A and B are shown apart, each in its own frame.
Chain A
């Protein structure tokens, strides 16, 4: 099954239209100065250029930090977007991260499961979280995605972009 089919067939399929609300957050993780580590931010760039999910809060950051737990507690839904080196990811994959104290903390970064667990533990609240991972290949100090990473980003965009008629527009007109 293709990544796109999996994303659509998952028990909670990823539909970007669901994130077009003020209480939703789309969080790009990465560093545009390190080649394919910039995939998370590039996805946010694409949303903004395409005018998608304009009502959602958008965040770009290098790593997750503990204070992001405070950010999450105000969100109903959160979509994290991050690059991955995992070779089992062909081009992209949608995951449902679960809260877990995985003790991955350094002063540089926190994992998504640890962040969710921190939010639940400290604030007694857990937003609905999804993770879009995009496969990258190069991580040196250089700007710009590699062609292969760019292709994977394109595959995710093609899968997740709304079909016409534009679903966001149709939802807005219904409202």
Chain B
């Protein structure tokens, strides 16, 4: 007889889901599932709308990574009007650099939220601390000076977004073929040099370095706990440039194995040839995989850990992040790192990398001058476009088709959290096996560990099911007949 455990809701993860653990008659874990039970069909919602509205509508899926949705959609629109990479057209320098600036600003801001607000409290107070303490408000009480610096860092990221896209949230600066405004010198200088109440980019880099040091301090004290918590092998995926280095805005898709050897590399416009999606009746979230390797061997990991596993280096323009990346790669002897809590290390490195990339862009005169839009003419219209960017949580894809009148007839979104679905389920299973230890009882420690394991991916289940809302945690243990043996809600 097998048995089942259910955890619901998962706190501080966006969306709604629950966890079920299936046990056999000896209370050994036979299966573990992260269910996503909320659904809103944004892809259907945009049918019939003018094609140029897609990035504006679809970015409203999410209040966190809206810039990624906006830019991904913008790249797809570039294709649709014949001004995109699918037509062999290179984006003009000024709009591409402005899009990149906003994109890196959002990565800095989004990672700062996930890392400092959700993960650092866990590192400072311990995974077993009560949830009411183990959060950023606990941090406010314990270390207000750190929180002030974090507030300043997030505020600066928001200012980058607002400066580029015109609004703190859901801006509309990207248009088909480019952007609708460039920066002026005053806007550039306040981000570069700061002003009263706003950090300079050099201060941002200092704060980002402090974030990396926080991880190292925690890691040194808790090395065994961090390194042994949920080791989950999987393929790793990221966009890369011609040198094989991560490119958050544009590039080819590269997938590497545990040795960091490339198992697939292709133009993202051909994604349908390379990816397949499995479905399960118990979840609204699909399970993408690399078609050539099948569902189990072809499961993918995206996001910070996937990207740092894929990238060869950060090049010469981000020396501080490059030094951290080398330390990261050295830690596993050059092999792919599959220690789930090292995702937080990777995230801290990417905050630093984003800050250094932003500094380089802010010093680039192209932000202030140059044409903003490619206008390819009606004859170039293709009616179909695919956009891919590296969103903070991982590889994000938008694919649209429009009819001759410009109305959307098809939209497909593959978001990072969906790409990570299989490895998140494997993580839950790994944690359940470690914590249940032959018992059919959900302990507080297991609840915390499952929450920590899932949160390492910073999943946005709202995005993954194209819904909006919060995700609370329910864990259930069941036997083979579906009888509930134990259940906890948080």
Contacts and interface: CB of A to CB of B under 8 A. Distances in A.
A123 B151 CA distance: 11
Nearest to B458: A107
B470 interface: yes
B114 A103 contact: no
Contact of B136 (A33, A61, A66, A74): A66
Interface string A86-105: 00000000000000010101
Contacts of B12: 105-107
Contacts of B64: 107-108
Given A103-B137, A121-B141, A122-B148, A108 B63 contact: yes
B158 A118 contact: no
Given A101-B137, A105-B117, A108-B470, A70 B144 contact: no
B344 to A, nearest CB: 14
B154 interface: yes
Nearest to B154: A67
Contacts of A118: 137, 140, 147
Interface SS of chain A: loop
A53 to B, nearest CB: 21
B59 to A, nearest CB: 11
Contacts of B40: 141
A123 B197 CA distance: 13
A122 B11 CA distance: 25
A97 to B, nearest CB: 15
Given A108-B63, A141-B45, A122 B140 contact: yes
Contact of A70 (B11, B63, B113, B152): B152
A146 interface: no
A96 B285 CA distance: 42
Interface string A57-87: 0000111011101100010000000000000
Most B CB contacts (10 A, CB to CB) among A66, A74, A101 go to A66
B168 interface: yes
Interface string A117-139: 11001110000000000000000
A45 to B, nearest CB: 16
A108 B154 CA distance: 13
A39 interface: no
Of the four ranges (under 10, 10 to 19, 20 to 34, 35 or more), the interface on chain B belongs to 20 to 34
Max count, chain B CB within 10 A of own CB: residue among A62, A63, A69, A107:
A107
Contacts of B144: 121-122
Contacts, number: 72
A101 B140 contact: yes
B169 A62 contact: yes
A70 B168 CA distance: 15
B14 A107 contact: yes
A7 interface: no
A114 interface: yes
Interface in B105-137: 113-114, 117-118, 131-132, 135-137
B252 interface: no
B154 A66 contact: yes
A173 B132 CA distance: 52
A61 B148 CA distance: 21
B154 A65 contact: yes
A42 B470 CA distance: 24
A62 B167 CA distance: 12
Contacts of A121: 140-141, 144, 147
Interface string B32-69: 00000000100001000000000000001001100000
A124 B74 CA distance: 43
A13 B60 CA distance: 37
Contact of B14 (A62, A70, A101, A108): A108
Contacts of B14: 106-108
Contact of B114 (A62, A67, A105, A107): A107
Contacts of A69: 151
- Between B151, B197, B468, the greatest number of chain A beta carbons within 10 A of the residue's beta carbon is seen for B151
B473 interface: no
A63 to B, nearest CB: 7
Contacts of A114: 137
Contact of B151 (A61, A105, A107, A122): A122
Contact of B117 (A33, A61, A66, A117): A66
Nearest to A114: B137
Interface in B57-95: 60, 63-64
A67 B136 CA distance: 12
Given A70-B152, A107-B114, A63 B63 contact: yes
Contact of B155 (A70, A105, A117, A122): A70
B60 A33 contact: yes
Contacts of A107: 12, 14, 64, 113-114, 117-118
Contacts of A108: 14, 63-64, 470
A74 B198 CA distance: 13
Contacts of A66: 117, 136, 147, 150-151, 154
16 contacts: A33-B60, A61-B168, A62-B169, A63-B63, A66-B151, A67-B155, A105-B117, A105-B135, A105-B136, A107-B113, A107-B118, A108-B470, A118-B140, A121-B141, A122-B144, A122-B148
6 tightest Cβ-Cβ pairs between the two chains A and B:
A67-B155, A103-B132, A122-B144, A101-B137, A107-B113, A67-B151
Given A70-B151, A74-B197, A106-B470, 5 more contacts: A61-B169, A107-B64, A108-B14, A121-B144, A122-B144
